[in-house]
Amino acid sequence: MAPVLFRAGCPDCRERFELAASALRLAIGASSRTTFYSFTCPECGVAVRKPAGSGSWNC
């Protein structure tokens, strides 16, 4: 079975890459506005946080 990959981009170094689901952390808030995905950029190591409801996560 192929692992599920999420396309992500780093706002800091503008690198684009794919992350395995296990590389993502989901911080669940009370609403979609306070629910975030977070990951560490594999290129520059910056911690990136994106709102889960932003629509920028297209599988």
8 binds Zn ion (CB under 5 A): no
Considering the rule CB under 5 A, would residue 19 count as an interface residue with Zn ion? no
| Per CB under 5 A, 13 contacts Zn ion | yes
Binding mask 32-51 toward Zn ion (x if CB under 5 A, else -) reads ---------x-xx-------
Phi, psi angles (nearest 5°) of residue 23? -85, -10
CB atoms closer than 10 angstroms to residue 55: 7
If the CB atoms of residues 19 and 41 are measured against Zn ion, the closer one turns out to be 41
Say how far apart CA 40 and CA 20 lie, in whole Å.
12
Sign of CA dihedral 25, 36, 39, 15: positive
Residues near Zn ion (CB under 5 A) are: 10, 12-13, 41, 43-44
